[in-house]
Structure 1
Amino acid sequence: MASDNGAERTFRCQFNLKSLKYSNTATYYLVIADEQRVQMPQREPFQIDIAFAVDEFNFFS
């Protein structure tokens, strides 16, 4: 979508992480690519900092 209004180009997404241990100091990458691979994929670096890590408190055992 091409618009001069930034609000029209904004959308929200929700991501579900796999139940793995993630390091809060490591850099992970979100890869954005179209299905036809017409454009080069875009990589966005981010960090994952989870307040309650998997298996940290053993709530479900």
Structure 2
Amino acid sequence: MASNKLVPGRLRYGASSLRRVIKYTRQGFTICGGGLANMLEQVAADPSIIRSDVEYVD
């Protein structure tokens, strides 16, 4: 929290996770390229986790 870095873990709801990343970057947090690559790799491996039908999961 002190470094204001976002570190994504295992994705279950891809679209909601991306909205959350955008939300926190607007609040001054950053996500490294490795974290973004990890998110993309998870979606590429299993496109069903995009789950665009889910509005928001917290």
Shorter-chain TM-score tier: under 0.3
Largest Rg, 1 or 2: 1
Question: Greater strand percent: which structure?
Answer: 1
Q: So what's the TM-score if we normalise by structure 1?
A: 0.22
Q: So what's the TM-score if we normalise by structure 2?
A: 0.22
